[in-house]
Structure formats: structure tokens, C-alpha cells
Amino acid sequence: MRLLLLVLLISLACVQTAFAQTTPEALAGALQAAARAGDASGYQRLLHAEGTFAVEGPNFAADLGRVPQPTATYLFSGIRLDGPQASARLSLSWERVPGQMSRVLLPVTLFKVGEVWRYGGESLQALPAGKYSLLALDMPGLPERAAIIAPLLSQAAVRVRDTLGMEVPDAATVKVYPDMAVLSASVALSLQPVGGWNEPGEAIKLVLPGGANPDQELLRVLSHEFTHLSVSAAAGEGKDKRIPWWLHEGLADFVSRAYWTPGAAESRRGRVAGYAKADWVPLFELADFNAVPESQWKYVYAQGLGLVEFLADTCGKDVPMRLALAFAETGEADGAAQALGFDSFSDLETKTQTWLVAR
């Protein structure tokens, strides 16, 4: 009897949820309620399986589960119906950190399934890009400006191949956003504004830089994010999560540093030497993106690159990637280090610090 009652209550909740989404405005309210409550599964149920948010959506929802957004506000405007779907503008605001409100406006697509509306994510416009997929947020002027990225994709892919010996997957998809706030809002509401992003199975996301000659900055970001994509593909589905975050970023910066300015390269070199000498954060504390506080992100990139440079310079250009694949196979630091001939991971880390201080 109790089991039957539980089933009836769950069914009633589903019916009530469906009823509540019979208008786009009601869908906005349901998204807002799930975000404020940190209800990851509830948020994910509001997504449409075929929208641009189909892949990113579960990760976005999982972030809400970890970091609820009690001040989030969702509002659709400019709704235009087109049969079983609609276009709209999503006005999204939230307090990412106390006392600091974030606000973005996103063009989005909504889908109607029977009588129920689902969220499909951002509206994107496809651009010609050869074997790759290039998409730009459907905002006035952005697709036209984003077209400059297409000829740079193969150049960035060659950089990855020449540095790490890996091919960028042909199915690589790049999505272009107007600024860091909008990009970050499409990834996770807890994420600080970033200019580039990639997670396994997701599209690469980047911000179109300003200035008269953006090619160098685009190549830097593209080669960095293409490296993430290629390393994840080489590790294999599920195993790439065993590779620590600092190594993911170290490999990506090792490839993209070819497009750094001399000043940026010298600044990073000095910073990592200083960390190695007196301010080193143990790498095991920098392994999990979700557990590393934003104040320590600078150590992830600097120390990760430092260790990759140490291996490439002293052991061979192919060794950093061998370390990543060893992590993917063993899932633990000592085993990965021993696969390269080091006594332990502590041995590898100590020798890295010594080399960084002396070079």
C-alpha cells in the first residue's frame, strides 16, 4: 500500500510539473525555481533533448546541485512562436558572489512537446568551417565577425599535432560568444567569467576578442581548447576524468604558449619559478576543478605548465602526454609517475621544483 501511495505521489508531481510548463513564462519560472533550490535533476528534466543545451545542460544542472543560486532570476521576453518551438530572449541574473550581481541576455530556443514547454539553450548560427563545426550566438553582427575563426581552426589543430603528436577530432565544434560573462553563463552560474571553455563531450566555447588583429589571441585560445579536446579523446570516455586538472591545463598551455606575447611568457616563467622556490601548492590539491578555490587557479596553470616543461625538456617531448595517459590508465599519481621511471609522484614533483628554480 505504501509503495502504491509513493508511486501515485510521484505521478502527481510529474503531472503538476508538466501542467506548470504549458507556457514559456511558466517554463522560465520552473527553471528559476530549480536553480534557486539547487535541484539538479529537476532542472535537467526541464531541458529538451535536441536543443543546443542537450550536452551542456546536464553539466550546468550538476553545477546547480553543487552551488545552488538562491537569487537567480529567469525571464523570457520577445517570444516568437514557430509551430512546436519558439525563439526568445532570456534575461538571466544571479548573485555569483555576495554583493555582485551578474546579468546577461541570451537568445534562446524553446521546444513544445505535447502541451509542455522545454528549454533548448542558446540560439546559434552555423558558419562554414570545413570539417569542423563553427557556431556563433545568434546576436546582431556576431556571426559575421566570427567568420574570421574558420581559417584558423586547421592552423590551431596543426599546432596540437606538432607539439603533442595528436590529431584534433574532426567532430570538433566551436561556439562563439560576444563576451566572457555570456560565455560563462552558458556553462555554469558559479563560474567566474572566462574567455575559453571545454569539457569532455561538450563543444569548445570561446569569446571573440576585440582589437585590430585578433588572430593571435584566437590561435592561443583555439590551440589551448583543442588540446583539451584531443587529450580527452586520447584518454577515452570516462578515463579522462582521471587526469588531474593541473595536467590538463599544463598540457594546454604547453601547446598554446607559441601564441603568447614575449611579456606574457616571461611573466609566467618568473611566476612559476617563484612558486617553486617558496610558494608551491602540492599538486594533489590542484587535481579536481570543482574542489580548487578560485584563489588558487593561478597555481593550477603555472605549476601544471612547469611540470610539463620539466618533463619535455629533461625526458622528451612525448613524455608529458605519456604521463597524462598513465594517469588515465592507473587513476593514481604514484602509478602514473612510476610508469615514467620516477620512484613516486613525490619524486617527480620534487625534481620539477628543483629544475624550475635552477633554470
- pLDDT, one tens digit per residue, over 224-260 is 999 999 999 999 988 999 999 999 999 999 999 999 9
CATH of 123-234 given 3.30.2010.30, 3.40.50.620, 3.90.228.20, 3.90.420.10: 3.30.2010.30
CATH 3.40.50.300 for domain 17-122: no
Pairing of β 124-127 and β 173-177: unpaired
Instruction: Report the SS3 class of residue 14.
Output: helix
pLDDT interval class at 112 (50, 70, 90):
very high
Over range 346-357, report the average pLDDT: 97
Residue 206 near residue 176, CB atoms below 8 Å? yes
pLDDT confidence of residue 3: 41
pLDDT confidence of residue 7: 36
**Amino acid identity, position 349:** E
Say if residue 212's pLDDT is above 90.
no
pLDDT confidence of residue 56: 86
pLDDT confidence of residue 52: 81
pLDDT confidence of residue 200: 84
pLDDT tens string 57-70: 999 999 999 999 99
pLDDT interval class at 44 (50, 70, 90):
very high
pLDDT tens string 266-310: 999 999 999 999 999 999 999 999 999 999 999 999 999 999 999
**Buried-exposed string 210-244: b where 16+ CB fall within 10 A, e elsewhere:** eeeebeebbbbbbbbbbbbbbbbbbbeeebbbbbb
pLDDT confidence of residue 9: 35
Give the chain's mean pLDDT: 92
Give, in order, the Cα–Cα distances in Å from 33 to each of 20, 37, 64, 358: 12, 6, 11, 55
pLDDT confidence of residue 50: 84
Over range 126-153, report the average pLDDT: 96
pLDDT tens string 167-191: 999 889 999 999 999 999 999 999 9
pLDDT tens string 303-350: 999 999 999 999 999 999 999 999 999 999 999 999 999 999 999 999
The percentage of the chain sitting over the pLDDT mark of 90, rounded to a whole number, equals 86
Cβ within 8 Å of residue 162, ≥6 positions away: none
pLDDT confidence of residue 97: 86
Say if residue 14's pLDDT is above 60.
no
pLDDT interval class at 163 (50, 70, 90):
very high
